[in-house]
Amino acid sequence: MQNTTHAQLVTKIKGWGKALGFADVGISSTDLSDYEAAYFNWLGESYHGEMQYMAAHGTKRTRPPELVPGTQSIISVRMNYYDADAHSPIEQLQTSDKAYVSRYALNKDYHKLMRKRLQQLASKIQQEVPDFTYRAFADSAPVLERPIAQQAGLGFIGKNSLIIHPRAGSWFFLGELYCNIDLPADPPFGKQGCGPCTACIDECPTQAILPNNQVDARRCISYLTIEHQGSIDEALRPLIGNRIYGCDDCQLVCPWNKFTDSTTEEAFKAKQIKAKHPLDATTLLALLSWSEEEFLNNFEGSPIRRIGFTLWQRNLCIAIGNDDYRPQNIEALTGLKTDSELVQEHREWAITQQTQKKQQQAQTQKSARLGGFTQLGKPAVAPKYYLPKKPR
């Protein structure tokens, strides 16, 4: 196929991509050499913690044709997931007996949905180019998704390491089609748009954001609550607050996120999950009362199911320990039946936290909130949050 026809094909691909629900589509070359050193330095510093899958594939992640031989170009897509109709994330985050769940996990698991859409896009291309071959990815393989997205013009790499678009913020997933045809690449997103802003670095509860646009995963609450299998470092537990699955603080304080469009995907709307329980507005104790069966049933199709019941209960125990003192917290923790040593250890920690706060409360006779978030000298409340507008 001639270059001119390839250019026309790209125009069609972008149109089909948008019709399939992708908010943006761009084309990148397979040359990620500029990012390779930074990637291996990150691994070299052990910032990946226990995520062995991050270190297991040599240069396959930074050299796409090593992962899929014959790859000549990459179609990079993004899909919005923020649901402006969900209960206010700020209110949930600032109410210490409520449970905070990352916005991306309030709804159906995105991996399958994104890959299916990418396959639909590939089928369209195959109708035009019968010998077109591809592999579809969405956070599902050793792929350097953010550098690819930046190269494809989808946005810049923010200080919080996320891809940010000045007109779309960062509340979107990324996905790719590795292609065997040489499509003309889009210009990379040239401008780094953070300027002097350091809101994400300042607000990150665990100071996980490094000065070079990267994150030390071992300190990130997303890693601690989702990826980390064992006991969570006691020094980090109080900083987790009421975040029981993932963390969004570095997005909630990002000024570019004023410009996020709410998702148009039904599967990403909180009402899907709300049909079973109001995950966007629920309390920690309500969730702690679930049996394993309820956990599995309520989270059918949700990404949360993947962490399993033990880590779920571990995370809840930490969050309840971080709540202000409430007698019902101690009651629920004491009554929690579990065979897991991991949960037992976190439960004991949480009971100790609650007991200490009870004693402090008695000593100081203060009715104001003292516990959890504020006692560590770290404000629970950012000077400003930037939430997308509700759709008109």
Binding-residue total with ligand B12 (CB under 6 A)? 37
Query: Is residue 77 within 8 Å of residue 176, measured between CB atoms?
Result: yes
Structure tokens at 33: 């050499």
Stretch that binds ligand B12, among 213-221, 279-287, 304-312, 354-362 (CB under 6 A): 213-221
- Return the residue of 21, 23, 30, 42 that touches ligand B12, per CB under 6 A: 42
For the chain, helix, strand, coil in percent to 5 are 45, 10, 45
| Residues 131-170 as x/- pattern, contact with ligand SF4 by CB under 6 A | -----------------------------x----------
- Return the residue of 76, 96, 107, 161 that touches ligand B12, per CB under 6 A: 161
Which pairs count as long-range contacts for 370-378, CB under 8 Å and 24+ apart, including other chains? 370/324, 371/96, 371/322, 371/323, 371/324, 371/325, 372/96, 372/238, 372/241, 372/242, 372/322, 372/323, 372/324, 373/96, 373/241, 373/322, 375/238, 376/238, 376/239, 378/205, 378/239
Determine, following the binding rule CB under 6 A, whether residue 109 of this chain makes contact with ligand B12: no
Helix axes 327-335, 308-322, angle to 10 degrees: 150
Active-site option among 24, 34, 83, 139: 139
Rg (CA), the chain: 22
Determine, following the binding rule CB under 6 A, whether residue 162 of this chain makes contact with ligand B12: yes
Footprint on residues 222-251 left by ligand SF4 (CB under 6 A)? 222, 247, 249-250
Q: Is 163 annotated as a binding residue?
A: yes
Phi, psi dihedral angles at 244 (to 5 degrees):
-100, -15
Which residues lie across from 80 on neighbouring strands?
172
For residue 151, the partner it binds in ligand SF4, ligand B12, none, with Cβ less than 5 to 8 A by kind, is none
Instruction: Clarify whether 280 is annotated catalytic.
Output: no
Count other C-beta atoms under 10 Å from residue 65's C-beta. Answer: 12
Which residues lie across from 283 on neighbouring strands?
98
Query: Is residue 38 within 8 Å of residue 158, measured between CB atoms?
Result: no
Footprint on residues 197-226 left by ligand SF4 (CB under 6 A)? 204-206, 208-209, 215, 220-222
Of 89 and 371, nearer to ligand B12 (C-beta) is 89
User: Least CB distance from residue 140 to ligand SF4, whole Å?
Assistant: 21
Count other C-beta atoms under 10 Å from residue 326's C-beta. Answer: 18
For residue 206, the partner it binds in ligand SF4, ligand B12, none, with Cβ less than 5 to 8 A by kind, is ligand SF4
User: Least CB distance from residue 114 to ligand SF4, whole Å?
Assistant: 20
Give the residue numbers annotated as catalytic, written as ranges.
139
Q: Which residues are annotated as a binding site?
A: 61, 139, 160, 163, 174, 194, 197, 200, 204, 220, 222, 247-248, 250, 254
Footprint of ligand B12 (CB under 6 A): 34-35, 38-39, 42, 51, 54, 102, 104, 138-139, 143-147, 157, 160-163, 170, 172-174, 213-215, 217, 220, 222-223, 227, 246-248, 250
